[in-house]
C-alpha cells in the first residue's frame, strides 16, 4: 500500500517539489506532507487510513466542513447537463446577485478561476480606471502570485524565505510601494508625498498570510480616507476573509467600505473560483463595457457556480458566524490556558472564523516584523507533535487557521487534549 512518503517521492520526480502549490510541501517541517485520500466534516483521511481533525479546510473554503452534502448534491444536480459551455448561463447571474446582496459595496461582479486572477484583474482595473501606475501593498500581505504583488509577500513566499521572486522584472516591481502593515502614519506620509500617482491600495483587511493579524483600530479607516482624498481605488482582498470573518466579510465586520473587493475560496466551496467586484462606475471600465481587458475560458463555470451558491445560501443562516466565532474562541482560549499552565509562551489572535497561534512572549503581533520574531522552531515541533496526535494545523507559522461549523465540541475538546499533551513536552 502506498504511503504519504512513497507517494511524495514519486510525485517529486514529475511535479516540482512534489506539489502543485508550494506551502503543501511541509518545507522546513521536517517530514513529508500527508497525502489525503478523502475528507468529511472536520476530518481529513490520509492514504494510510489515518484520521486528522483539520484546521486548514482546503485553506479556507470548507467553512461548513468537508464534503458538505448540500454542496455535493448541488454539483451532482448540474453534472449531467455538461461541464462547461463557454456561453452565458443563468447560474452566473444567480451567483452575481447573491454576492451583491451579501456585500452591499459590490454593484457588479466578474467571476474568475482563482484568487490570483481576481487580485490581478482588480489591480489592472484600478490602474485603467485612474490612469496611474503606482500601487500600494503591505509587507507580509499575500495576494496570489501576481507579478506586481509578489513584492514582500506573505504565505508560501514568506515561508520559503523568498519575500519576492526571481522572474518579476524590477521595472514592474518598482511601481509597487510596500508599506508596513497596520502603520497608519506610514500610509499618510506616503500619500502626502505621491498620493496623486497612486492607482490603488490593496490590503488583506485581516492579514491571513503572515499568520492572523487583525487591523489595529483606525487602520482600515485611514486607508479609506487617503483613497478618498487622492482618488486612489481602495481594494480589499477578501479572498480569505470574505464570508468567513463575517457573512459580509471584513468590510462588514469592521464597517469600512472598499471600492473593489476580491473574493475566492468560500465563494467556490472548494471549486477553482475567484471573483472581483465593486462600484458600478469602476466595473463599467471592464471589457466588453469598457477598455480594460479581462477574460476567462472557464470563468463562471456552471458546476463551480452551483457549488458556491449552495454554500453561500447555507452560511446565510442567522447566527452561523456568531457560532463559528464562539468555536474559535473555545479553541483559542483553551490553547492559551493550556500553554500558560505548561509554561509555554503562546498567544492567539482571531477574527470571526479565522485564528492564529503565535509562540511568542509579545502580547500582540501586528505586523511582518513582529510575526517574524515568533519562535519558528517551537512552532515546527508543535505542528509535528499535533499531527502525531491526529490534529492537522496549517504547516507553517505564517498561515492562519480556519474553523468550520462541522467542528463540534467533541473535536475541539480532542484538539485541546492533544495540545495539553504536546505542550507538556514542548521544548
Ligand atoms: N489573496 C489572498 C488573501 C489569499 O489568501 C490567496 C490564497 N491563499 C490569494 C489571494 C490567491 O488565491 P489563489 O490561491 O486562489 O490564486
CATH topology of domain 4-67+318-425: 3.90.1150
CA distance 152 to 158: 8
CA distance 385 to 113: 36
Task: Say yes or no: CB of residue 249 within 6 Å of ligand 1.
Answer: no
Task: Say yes or no: CB of residue 143 within 6 Å of ligand 1.
Answer: yes
Residue 6 backbone zone (phi > 0: left; psi -120 to 50: alpha; other: beta):
alpha
Task: Say yes or no: CB of residue 349 within 6 Å of ligand 1.
Answer: no
Q: Would you state the pLDDT for residue 158?
A: 60
Give the mean pLDDT of 286-306.
98
Q: Would you state the pLDDT for residue 418?
A: 98
Q: How many CA atoms lie within 13 A of 324 on its CB side?
A: 29
CA distance 109 to 282: 11
Other C-beta atoms closer than 10 Å to the C-beta of 416 total: 17
Query: What is the C-alpha radius of gyration for the chain, rounded to an integer number of angstroms?
Result: 21
Q: Is the pLDDT of residue 170 over 90?
A: no
362-393 pLDDT tens trace = 999 999 999 999 999 999 999 999 999 999 99
Task: Say yes or no: CB of residue 59 within 6 Å of ligand 1.
Answer: yes
21-56 pLDDT tens trace = 999 999 988 899 999 999 999 999 999 999 999 999
Task: Say yes or no: CB of residue 41 within 6 Å of ligand 1.
Answer: no
Task: Decide if 127 contacts 199 (C-beta within 8 A).
Answer: yes
25 DSSP 8-state letter: G
Ligand 1 pocket mutation pick from 115, 204, 262 by most atoms within 8 angstroms of CB: 115
Spell out the residues 6+ positions from residue 190 whose beta carbon is closer than 8 angstroms to its own.
136, 177, 179, 198
Give the mean pLDDT of 232-237.
98
Q: Would you state the pLDDT for residue 157?
A: 66
Q: Would you state the pLDDT for residue 184?
A: 98
Active site residues: 142, 237, 265
Give the mean pLDDT of 117-132.
98
Other C-beta atoms closer than 10 Å to the C-beta of 169 total: 9
Q: Would you state the pLDDT for residue 82?
A: 97
Residue 134 alpha carbon to ligand 1 centre in Å: 21
Residue 274 alpha carbon to ligand 1 centre in Å: 9
71-122 pLDDT tens trace = 999 999 999 999 999 999 999 999 999 999 999 999 999 999 999 999 999 9
Average pLDDT, the chain: 96
Q: 271 forms bridges with which residues in the sheet?
A: 269
Q: Would you state the pLDDT for residue 326?
A: 98
Give the mean pLDDT of 321-338.
98
- For residue 384, give the nearest of 8, 26, 20, 47 by alpha carbon: 26
Task: Say yes or no: CB of residue 119 within 6 Å of ligand 1.
Answer: yes
16 DSSP 8-state letter: G
Q: In Å, how far from its chain's centre is CA 302?
A: 23
Protein residue with least CA distance to atom 1, ligand 1: 143
Grid cell, residue 232, equals: 486612489
Q: Do domains 4-67+318-425 and 69-314 have the same CATH topology?
A: no
Atom of ligand 1 nearest to the CA of 60: 8
Q: Is the pLDDT of residue 153 over 80?
A: no
**Residue extents of the structural domains in the chain:** 4-67+318-425, 69-314
Protein residue with least CA distance to atom 5, ligand 1: 240
Protein residue with least CA distance to atom 9, ligand 1: 144
Other C-beta atoms closer than 10 Å to the C-beta of 210 total: 30
Task: Please determine, looking at this structure, whether the domain spanning 69-314 carries the CATH number 3.40.50.2000.
Answer: no
Task: Say yes or no: CB of residue 184 within 6 Å of ligand 1.
Answer: no
Structure pTM?
A: 0.97
Residue 342 alpha carbon to ligand 1 centre in Å: 36
Residue 115 alpha carbon to ligand 1 centre in Å: 5
- Reduced to 3 states (helix: H, G, I; strand: E, B; else coil), residue 144 is coil
Task: Say yes or no: CB of residue 154 within 6 Å of ligand 1.
Answer: no
Residue 241 alpha carbon to ligand 1 centre in Å: 10
Strand order in the sheet with 274-278: 108-112, 274-278, 260-264, 233-237, 198-203, 134-138, 176-179
The backbone torsions φ and ψ at residue 45, rounded to the nearest 5 degrees and listed phi first, read -120, 125
CA distance 427 to 408: 30
CA distance 253 to 419: 30
Least confidently predicted of 32-41, 55-64, 163-172: 163-172
CA-angle at 303, arms to 405 and 68, nearest 5°: 20
3-state secondary structure 179-196: ECCCCHHHHHHHHHHHHH
- For residue 124, give the nearest of 298, 288, 285, 289 by alpha carbon: 285
Amino acid at each position: 500500500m502506498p504511503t504519504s512518503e512513497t507517494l511524495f517521492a514519486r510525485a517529486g520526480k514529475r511535479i516540482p517539489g512534489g506539489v502543485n502549490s508550494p506551502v503543501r510541501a511541509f518545507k522546513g517541517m521536517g517530514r513529508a506532507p500527508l497525502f489525503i485520500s478523502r475528507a468529511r466534516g472536520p476530518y481529513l483521511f490520509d492514504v494510510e487510513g489515518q484520521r486528522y481533525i483539520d484546521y486548514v479546510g482546503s485553506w479556507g473554503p470548507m467553512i461548513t466542513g468537508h464534503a458538505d452534502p448540500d454542496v455535493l448534491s448541488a454539483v451532482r444536480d448540474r453534472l449531467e447537463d455538461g461541464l462547461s459551455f463557454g456561453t452565458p448561463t443563468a447560474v452566473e447571474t444567480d451567483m452575481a446577485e447573491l454576492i451583491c446582496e451579501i456585500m452591499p459595496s459590490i454593484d457588479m461582479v466578474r467571476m474568475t478561476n482563482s484568487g490570483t486572477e481576481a487580485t490581478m484583474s482588480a489591480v489592472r482595473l484600478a490602474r485603467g480606471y485612474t490612469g496611474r501606475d503606482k500601487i500600494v501593498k503591505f509587507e507580509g500581505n499575500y495576494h496570489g502570485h501576481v507579478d506586481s504583488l509578489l513584492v514582500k509577500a506573505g504565505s508560501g513566499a514568506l515561508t520559503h524565505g523568498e519575500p519576492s521572486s526571481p522572474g518579476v522584472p524590477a521595472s514592474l516591481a518598482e511601481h509597487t510601494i510596500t508599506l508596513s502593515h497596520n502603520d497608519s502614519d506610514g500610509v499618510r506620509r506616503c500619500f502626502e508625498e505621491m498620493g496623486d500617482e497612486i492607482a490603488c491600495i490593496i490590503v488583506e483587511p485581516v492579514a491571513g498570510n503572515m499568520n492572523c493579524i487583525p487591523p489595529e483600530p483606525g487602520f482600515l479607516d485611514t486607508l479609506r480616507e487617503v483613497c478618498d482624498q487622492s482618488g486612489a481605488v481602495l481594494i480589499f482582498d477578501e479572498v480569505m476573509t470574505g464570508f468567513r470573518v463575517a457573512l459580509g466579510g471584513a468590510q462588514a465586520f469592521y464597517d469600512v467600505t472598499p471600492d473593489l473587493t476580491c473574493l475566492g475560496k468560500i465563494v467556490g466551496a472548494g471549486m477553482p473560483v475567484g471573483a472581483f467586484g465593486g462600484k458600478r462606475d469602476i466595473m463599467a471600465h471592464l471589457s466588453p463595457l469598457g477598455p480594460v481587458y479581462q477574460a476567462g475560458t472557464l470563468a463562471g463555470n456552471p458546476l463551480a457556480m452551483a457549488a458556491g451558491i449552495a454554500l453561500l445560501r447555507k452560511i446565510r443562516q442567522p447566527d452561523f458566524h456568531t457560532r463559528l466565532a464562539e468555536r474559535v474562541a473555545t479553541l483559542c482560549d483553551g490553547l492559551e490556558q493550556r500553554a500558560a499552565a505548561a509554561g509555554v509562551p503562546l498567544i492567539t489572535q482571531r477574527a470571526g472564523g479565522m485564528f492564529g497561534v503565535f509562540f511568542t512572549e509579545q502580547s500582540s503581533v501586528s505586523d511582518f516584523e513582529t510575526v517574524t520574531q515568533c519562535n519558528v522552531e517551537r512552532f515546527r515541533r508543535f505542528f509535528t507533535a499535533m499531527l502525531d496526535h491526529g490534529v492537522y494545523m496549517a504547516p507553517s507559522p505564517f498561515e492562519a487557521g480556519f474553523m468550520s461549523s462541522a467542528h463540534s465540541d467533541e473535536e475541539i475538546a480532542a484538539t485541546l487534549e492533544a495540545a495539553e499533551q504536546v505542550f507538556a513536552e514542548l521544548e
